[in-house]
Amino acid sequence: MDHALKPTADAAWVLEAAGYDPLREGSLESRFAISNGFLGIRGARAITRGERWVVPPHTYVAGLFDRPGTEPAIPELIPAAGWLTVRISLSGMPLVHHPGDASSHHMTLDLRRGTLLAESGLLEAPGVGLRLRTLRLVSLSERALGLQLLQLEIVDGEVDVTLEASFAGVDLGLISERLGQDLGVWRTQRSGKSLAMATASSLQVDGHDLPATAIDQLKWSWSWKSRAGQIACFERTVAVVRSDTEALDPGATAQGKLFVARHLGWRGVLAKHERAWVDRWQCSDVEVDGDAPAQQALRFAIYHLNSAANPADERVSIGARGLTGDDYHGHVFWDTEIYLLPFYILTWPKAARALLMYRFRTLDAARAKSARMGWRGALYAWESADTGAETTPEYAIGSDRQIIDILSGKEEQHISADVAYAVWQYWQATGDEEFLRNAGAEILLETGRFWASRVRLEADGCGHIRDVIGPDEYHEHVDDGAYTNVMARWNIRRAIEVTALLRERWPDCWARLSSRLGLDDAELKQWLSAADTMATGLEPETGLYEQFAGYFALEEINLADYAGRSVPMDVVLGRERTQRSQVIKQADVVALLGLLPAEFVGGTGPANFNYYEPRCSHGSSLSRAMHGLVAARLGYSEMALRYFRQTAAIDLTDTYVSMGGGVHIAALGGVWLTAVFGFAGLSLRDDGVAIDPQLPAGWTSLGFGFQWRGRRLRIRIDQLKGHLEATLEEGDPMTLVVSGTSHELRRTQMLLVSAGRSDKSKVSQPPSAAIETALTVLPGGDPERLDGTILRV
């Protein structure tokens, strides 16, 4: 067991924390969480926790939603029983009364192995010295399994020792149906789901099995007499199974999975888990030379991204906090499609497919929402749980204790175009014909149908979409939001394109699908008209997109004048003045530039970015990542690097109170996006892949791998030598475009081409970059000092 409890030696692969600080515990529990897309365990202390916490460390199970008996009755991700609880007593007295009792406590998140290790050195109990080391994991190989290891070394002294292993919170949120010695079965109150947890534990003292002295429901106890030099090793395995129907008893399945795990032994479980992580890192690692903090930020982000997905379950998606916390009740937003799917599409296509199949399985709920609101096609829920029904709360209590109507569930409709965008990106990158025929095309058609029914042709000859909310949620009831309208137009055109594709390549499939959907040429002609007449807010004279109708006439506010604020701008100004101002919550037109750069011709991309960037207050954790991506593509590499660092700091520093509710998984996706789509300049084309590198000055090289249509590629950009190395590790020859020049890439040889910084990288940083040095705020009201100086222009 000693070897298993040693973390990876390379400091670039570990994250560490020491000591006890009650103000940081919530953040550390999120940051050091482990998950596998099915099970999630917060990084809470299991042994040195003491008695101060009433609520046990949470175990999350993907898809385990229920409606609590509260108003409004919104589905919530219900925590399962905590299975890591261990209490150690010396001569009948608890070893730890308070977390601060440990003379030292050190936690290590081993990113390479996907394990959380902890060590409490020389716990000073009366008359005895102890050293305690632990490991926990949830298996990436067999996602139903969790493993806990504990090694207790008696450094000196003799004392009666009792180790008690139990489950905590067995009646927290779930109704117990069966509780036995090694099996618990629970059910939800209203959603018809059930959960089983089968478990087995053992203890060895100096290599000899010690029988349990007391056994109860999900509880075991061992007692022995210690001596100096003695080593006790405890191991516990748990198998967790979720059932979505009342007719299926998950208990037998859980016991079967536990039986297989016990046959493997803890070493076998650990070995298979570590091999699965080796495979994931081979597919997804990003290597940065010359910037150790950036390397750590990327590895941390990729660790949590790999931990959040489960390619085997098409009935769940990834919530705003993954399985690391319960903020937003585990609900799914547009974050998944825009900020997460690119990572999975290029590094883990099976996971990407499962996430998109969740949207296909909830397509009927999207159709129902659209029909309920008087439109056709599919309008996806702004917030959704397992069924796809709208779960956005209708109201909240504001900072002034007043009731605030939440309109996102009704007006933030760009979600349907966001889903369509992810579907098309997946098709473009994978060429997955089976998915397109059986799921993707229908999503594209039904979202396109929604937008065609949503737009209204008016007397000015333009089609308008009124009364919506764009990504900038500070402004409600807006007309012709640029992001919404241009994405809607793009969505309709891709829907029309997929009809032509189906007709040409799979006419029988098209005949069946069009018949089932009642879709004919007359309707498709109306779609084309809706797209061609769509109002976009583009001003030909300036090349600027007006964020929404009337935006340019709103009050201009210099955000640099509010550099000392400690709360979001809508709190500083008040909701009404904010809505009358040009202050933006998060990337809106900038997000459109990030997703559809082809809609910004000539120099209009930089013009729009330079106009909107200083007006954005970054009131969302998503905002800086999108700004960083776009800044990098435009050649503003140093500004992009600042945005990159600020995005990474959200979950890697202790600045944000909101960190206690779980990691900001979409922001972590944004870290990867900024590096790969931004600094490396990767983009997908119909005929291949393009790379247009714009590395920050301090990055000597950037390396990463990705997949494209059954091929595996490895890219390394060497800034010192001014060249790019591309290797086709698997698959047929393909076209790779580097800085605008096409090259044929074959498996037989590495491609080595010049990749110097293009002329656009020499563009000076826009004057608005100075605003980024101001004190800004993310959700939760926590200020972040971006650097030590506040500049004015």
Type of residue found at 50 = G
pLDDT digits (tens, 9 = 90+) for 510-528: 999 999 999 999 999 999 9
Q: Percent of the chain scored above 90 by pLDDT? A: 79
Give residue 719's pLDDT: 96
Coil, helix or strand for 399? coil
How far, in whole angstroms, is CA 790 from its chain's centroid? 32
Give residue 124's pLDDT: 57
Residue 550 pLDDT greater than 90, yes or no: yes
Type of residue found at 559 = L
DSSP 413: T
181-190, 397-406, 496-505: least confidently modelled range: 397-406
Phi, psi of 445 (to 5 degrees): -70, -45
Residue 616 pLDDT greater than 70, yes or no: yes
3-state helix, strand, coil in the chain (%, to 5): 35, 25, 40
Q: For residue 618, what are the contacts with CB-CB under 8 A and spacing of at least 6?
A: 586, 624, 627, 776, 777, 778
Residue 633 pLDDT greater than 90, yes or no: yes
Coil, helix or strand for 453? helix
Mean pLDDT, residues 648-676 taken together: 89
C-alpha count within 13 angstroms, C-beta hemisphere, residue 691: 29
Mean pLDDT, residues 564-576 taken together: 88
Type of residue found at 558 = N
Give residue 766's pLDDT: 60
Alpha helices in 588-654 (DSSP H): 589-595, 604-612, 623-634, 637-652
Sign, CA torsion 184/185/187/193: positive
Q: How confident is the model at residue 565 (pLDDT cuts 50, 70, 90)?
A: confident
Mean pLDDT, residues 453-473 taken together: 97
Average pLDDT, rounded, for the chain: 91
Peptide bond before residue 99 is cis, with ω within 30 degrees of 0: no
Under 8 Å between Cβ of 552 and 607: no
Q: For residue 734, what are the contacts with CB-CB under 8 A and spacing of at least 6?
A: 688, 689, 708, 709, 711, 728, 744, 745
pLDDT digits (tens, 9 = 90+) for 320-350: 999 999 999 999 999 999 999 999 999 999 9
Pairing of strands 175-179, 160-168: unpaired
Cα of first residue to Cα of last residue in the chain, in angstroms, is 60
- Residue 504 structure tokens: 């040409």
Q: Measured between alpha carbons, how far is 740 from 525 in angstroms, rounded to an integer?
A: 36
- Residue 404 structure tokens: 């605030």
Give the residue from 719, 722, 715 showing the smallest Cα distance to 691. 715
Give residue 757's pLDDT: 55
Peptide bond before residue 72 is cis, with ω within 30 degrees of 0: yes
Q: How confident is the model at residue 402 (pLDDT cuts 50, 70, 90)?
A: confident
Alpha helices in 533-580 (DSSP H): 569-573, 575-579
Q: How confident is the model at residue 768 (pLDDT cuts 50, 70, 90)?
A: very low
Q: Which residue has the higher pLDDT, 758 or 178?
A: 178
Under 8 Å between Cβ of 776 and 784: yes
Type of residue found at 345 = I
pLDDT digits (tens, 9 = 90+) for 9-63: 999 999 999 988 877 888 899 999 999 999 999 998 776 555 554 456 789 999 9
Give residue 673's pLDDT: 98
Q: Measured between alpha carbons, how far is 31 from 322 in angstroms, rounded to an integer?
A: 12
C-alpha count within 13 angstroms, C-beta hemisphere, residue 603: 7
Q: Measured between alpha carbons, how far is 184 from 387 in angstroms, rounded to an integer?
A: 26
Alpha helices in 685-758 (DSSP H): none
198-212, 236-250, 391-405: least confidently modelled range: 391-405
pLDDT digits (tens, 9 = 90+) for 276-312: 999 999 999 999 999 999 999 999 999 999 999 999 9
Q: How confident is the model at residue 656 (pLDDT cuts 50, 70, 90)?
A: low
Give the residue from 242, 195, 184 showing the smallest Cα distance to 217. 184
pTM of the predicted protein model: 0.93
Q: For residue 515, what are the contacts with CB-CB under 8 A and spacing of at least 6?
A: none
Pairing of strands 39-41, 34-35: antiparallel
Q: Measured between alpha carbons, how far is 154 from 88 in angstroms, rounded to an integer?
A: 13
Give residue 533's pLDDT: 98
User: What distances in angstroms separate CA 631 from CA 610, 717, 763, 791, one per listed residue?
Assistant: 10, 19, 11, 19
